């Protein structure tokens, strides 16, 4: 099968033509030097490493998995060498702050990097992503002493990071956490408890691992209001030496996918740690990590779809099977490539429309985070935070749902060959499935959208999305060449507005109405967001259909047309399902299941 090629031209289109990232960063203190030439050179170089080094290790990681021997986890063959290559090249600190030894590039550049890393080797990329997330959470919430102690080593890749939330009796309901942290009489705490499903919980890539752990202090308030966050290293420094800190891995999970990523049961036995942030305010700090991770997982959905699409297109060009329904298209060959068949083309275009739409939505959300983090105007910071908060559950859930669909479509295109291990497509299907589950299942993301984000601040979050969409659609409504794009987008937007009003009204009277509609509403939101972005991409492409890039813009327009005509009509079905209400769901007797 064809090897991965970083989608450099489309990255440039999305980040510099659809969104003017360079102009955005020029207004953000510390990011002024992130020029287009610099960023694209960085992205291109990392793309080469991903294709040449990480992708060949993807099947190795899947076949070997991680191994637990004598309480220590070893990663698959080649992972250590690949990690050292990235560490020595400074890639572990790409978006880390310069004062801690990082490169200081905007987090949006990290999103571009994440796409390429995850497209080529999701299991390996998780070790890097979790460390970056831990570093970011510590930077925002830890004391200066803890920051200086931990962050430089996380950024230079000497140490790794994790987040430890889940326990056997609690997953989403973190108010049930039982891990106990007792003050030691100084500035440290002694922690006892067990955490499960801890990604990258133990491994041999770094000399130490810093766990961010949710725990309960003595006499803490019950429920979620009594949760604190602690930083607990696997090894702690005593007189300049690293010694065991009561942190151990008792088992690793045998999983459906991402087998090269160690998913561990981690036990804390009188482990010494430091409080991060205020007592009983741990969820505030952990949500910094979780929200970042949710966007990261949304990018994973995009990345695996891109990888699957590349494999499917290559196969469809090479696989000869039958003749076109409208006559021979390749007479020099003994049969036409399956690329000529309508059903195959439909699947390939569905994957393409999704990946390019998801890349645009990712950029929109990521740039909003950059603005929130650094813009000197508090009003713009607040607006950007509103938009990022609203889009986060959509990016996570919609992009992973459709990402999994895309990997399945790729397998279907490749047929029996796709079902075999050597083509790598069936691994993408298995790897993609977890993205719909971890960092909060997609059903939880949908409940977050309708239960928290929609009513927040009297609908203020929604206005950050609704207003620019409405303004664009109204401005383009009378432009003849935009009618085929604006018309369908406007219909989907109207359905979204009506569904939003219905959920707001009916959900207050009966929460089950909102709960039953939540996932369908999130998908309606996702399709509408894609429609808006595809209409904008079409407008740009119409204006640039000349010169050496004409083929690129023609293809962009053709994909936009396919999305509007063949995919966006699903918004009508979603709207009908939402408006049907919850009766058919909730009236079914429990005993009849």
The full 3-state SS of 222-263, as one line of letters, equals CHHHHEEEEEEECEEEECCEEEECCEEEEEECCCCCCCCCCE
By annotation, the residues acting in catalysis are: 439
Q: Which residue has the tokens 């929200």?
A: 291
What single DSSP character describes residue 19? S
**426, two tokens:** 């069936």
List residues bridging with 276 in a β-sheet: 229
Note the pLDDT of residue 515: 97
Burial of residue 210 (CB within 10 Å: 0-12, 13-18, 19+) is buried
The neighbour count for residue 19, using CB atoms within 10 Å, is 19
**32, two tokens:** 């002024």
Residue 517's H or E segment, with its range, is helix 511-543
Note the pLDDT of residue 94: 96
Nearest-angstrom CA–CA distance, 316 and 293: 34
- Positive or negative, the CA dihedral 461, 466, 467, 472 is positive
Note the pLDDT of residue 68: 97
Within 13 Å of residue 457, how many CA atoms lie on the same side as its CB?
Answer: 13
**How distant, in Å, are the alpha carbons of 37, 96, 250, 362, 536 from that of 16?**
11, 23, 48, 14, 13
Nearest-angstrom CA–CA distance, 524 and 282: 33
Strands 263-276 and 72-74: unpaired
Strands 263-276 and 188-199: antiparallel
List residues bridging with 214 in a β-sheet: 229
Within 13 Å of residue 445, how many CA atoms lie on the same side as its CB?
Answer: 34
Q: Give the burial string for 384-395 (b: 16+ CB within 10 Å, else e).
A: bbbbbbbbbbbb
Could you tell me the mean pLDDT of each successive run of 10 residues in the chain, 593 residues long?
89 97 96 96 97 97 96 96 97 95 96 98 97 94 95 97 90 83 93 95 97 93 91 93 96 97 97 94 81 92 98 97 95 96 98 98 97 95 95 98 98 97 95 95 96 91 96 96 98 98 94 97 98 98 90 97 98 98 95 95
Indicate the Cα dihedral angle 541, 546, 551, 557, nearest 10°: 20
**236, two tokens:** 């702690």
Nearest-angstrom CA–CA distance, 406 and 427: 13
What residues contact residue 350 under an 8 Å CB cut-off, 6+ apart?
406, 409, 566, 567
- CA-nearest of 209, 189, 191, 190 to 199 is 209
- CA-nearest of 533, 286, 214, 225 to 395 is 533
**How distant, in Å, are the alpha carbons of 539, 556, 564 from that of 545?**
11, 10, 20
């Amino acid at each position: 099968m064809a090897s991965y090629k970083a989608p450099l031209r489309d990255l440039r289109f999305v980040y510099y033509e659809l969104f003017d990232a360079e102009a955005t960063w020029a207004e953000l203190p510390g990011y002024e030097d992130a020029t287009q030439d610099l960023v694209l050179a960085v992205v291109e170089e990392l793309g080469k490493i991903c294709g040449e080094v990480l992708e060949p290790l993807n099947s190795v990681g899947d076949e070997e998995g991680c191994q637990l021997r004598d309480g220590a986890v070893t990663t698959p063959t080649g992972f250590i060498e690949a990690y050292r290559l990235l560490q020595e090249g400074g890639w572990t600190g790409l978006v880390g702050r310069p004062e801690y030894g990082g490169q200081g590039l905007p987090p949006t550049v990290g999103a571009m990097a994440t796409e390429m890393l995850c497209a080529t080797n999701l299991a390996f990329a998780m070790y890097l992503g979790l460390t970056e997330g831990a570093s970011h959470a510590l930077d925002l919430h830890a004391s200066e002493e803890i920051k200086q102690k931990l962050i430089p080593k996380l950024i230079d890749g000497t140490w790794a990071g994790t987040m430890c939330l889940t326990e056997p009796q609690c997953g989403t309901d973190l108010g049930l956490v039982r891990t106990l942290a007792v003050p030691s009489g100084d500035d440290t705490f002694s922690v006892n408890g067990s955490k499960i499903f801890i990604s990258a919980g133990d491994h041999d890539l770094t000399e130490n691992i810093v766990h961010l752990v949710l725990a309960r202090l003595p006499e803490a308030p019950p429920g979620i209001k009594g949760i604190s966050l602690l930083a607990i290293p696997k090894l702690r420094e005593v007189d300049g030496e690293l010694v065991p800190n009561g942190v151990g891995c008792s088992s690793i999970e045998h999983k459906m996918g991402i087998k090269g990523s160690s998913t561990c049961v981690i036990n804390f036995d009188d482990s010494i740690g430091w409080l991060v942030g205020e007592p009983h305010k741990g969820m505030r700090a952990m949500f910094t990590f979780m929200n970042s991770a949710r966007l990261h997982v949304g990018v994973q959905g995009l990345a695996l779809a891109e990888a699957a699409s590349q494999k499917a297109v290559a196969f469809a060009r090479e696989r000869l099977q039958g003749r076109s329904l409208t006559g021979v298209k390749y007479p020099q060959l003994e049969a036409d490539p399956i690329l000529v068949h309508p059903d195959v083309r439909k699947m390939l275009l569905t994957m393409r429309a999704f990946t390019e739409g998801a890349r645009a939505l990712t950029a929109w959300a990521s740039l909003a985070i950059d603005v929130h983090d650094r813009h000197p105007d508090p009003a713009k910071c607040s607006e950007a935070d509103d938009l990022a908060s609203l889009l986060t559950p959509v990016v996570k859930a919609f992009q992973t749902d459709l990402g999994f669909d895309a990997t399945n479509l790729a397998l279907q295109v490749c047929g029996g060959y796709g079902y075999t291990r050597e083509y790598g497509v069936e691994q993408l299907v298995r790897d993609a499935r977890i993205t719909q589950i971890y960092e909060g299942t997609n059903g939880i993301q949908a409940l977050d959208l309708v239960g928290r984000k929609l009513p927040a601040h009297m609908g203020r979050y929604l206005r950050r999305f609704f207003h620019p969409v409405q303004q664009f659609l109204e401005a383009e409504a009378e432009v003849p060449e935009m009618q085929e794009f604006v018309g369908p987008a406007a219909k989907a937007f109207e359905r979204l507005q009506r569904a939003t009003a219905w959920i707001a009204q009916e959900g207050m009277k009966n929460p089950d109405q909102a709960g039953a509609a939540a996932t369908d509403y999130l998908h309606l939101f996702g399709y509408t967001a894609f429609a808006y972005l595809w209409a904008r991409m079409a407008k740009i492409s119409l204006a640039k259909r000349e010169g050496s890039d004409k083929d690129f813009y023609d293809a962009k327009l053709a994909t936009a047309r396919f999305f509007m005509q063949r995919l966006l009509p699903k918004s009508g079905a979603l709207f009908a399902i939402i408006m049907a209400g919850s009766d058919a769901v909730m009236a079914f007797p429990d005993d009849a299941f």
